[in-house]
Amino acid sequence: MKKKITVKPITELELCFEDGKIIELVFNMEALMRFTEVGEITDISKLTKTSLPELCSKIIYAGAIVKDDSFTLDEARKIVSNLDAGTVTEIIQEFTGNMDTGENKAELQKNLMREFLLNMK
């Protein structure tokens, strides 16, 4: 039996800042490997155990280092400390949308948003 696999394009994001600076993020397999290294997470479904700002920092780091090997996790943390909640949420959703499929993706995103809202109180 012949099987066909449809290849999906990777997600690339540009974080555009008011001062004109642009940071490119690529969410491919290399980014996932980098994320698991710094995130110390081997199971994507366990992402809700990490604070959302730290999670977003690790996602930005993992996506940025693919394009710029001098990018650091501390730089990512500084960026996240200046982002609004909507932007943090959007970055996390883009990353998780690439790393999981089907019901798991929807459930993961729902859990992340619930954790975020609970932590805002």
For the segment 52-95, what is each residue's pLDDT rounded down to a tens digit? Answer: 888 899 999 999 999 999 999 999 999 999 999 899 989 988 88
In a domain, 31, yes or no: yes
Q: Dig out the tokens for 83 from the structure.
A: 């982002």
Neighbours of 13 (CB within 10 A): 18
Q: Which domain holds residue 41?
A: 11-120
Does residue 6 fall inside a structural domain? no
* pLDDT at res. 106: 61
Mean pLDDT of the chain: 82
Q: Annotate the chain with three-state secondary structure.
A: CCCCCCCCCCEEEEEECCCCCEEEEEECHHHHHHHHHHHCCCCHHHHHHCCHHHHHHHHHHHHHHCCCCCCCHHHHHHHHHCCCHHHHHHHHHHHHHHHCCHHHHHHHHHHHHHHHHHHHC
Number of domain units in the chain: 1
Residue 16 forms part of a structural domain? yes
Confidence of residue 26 (pLDDT cuts 50, 70, 90): very high
Across 104-111, average pLDDT = 60
Please report how many Cα atoms fall inside a 13 Å half-sphere around the Cα of residue 27, on the Cβ side. 21
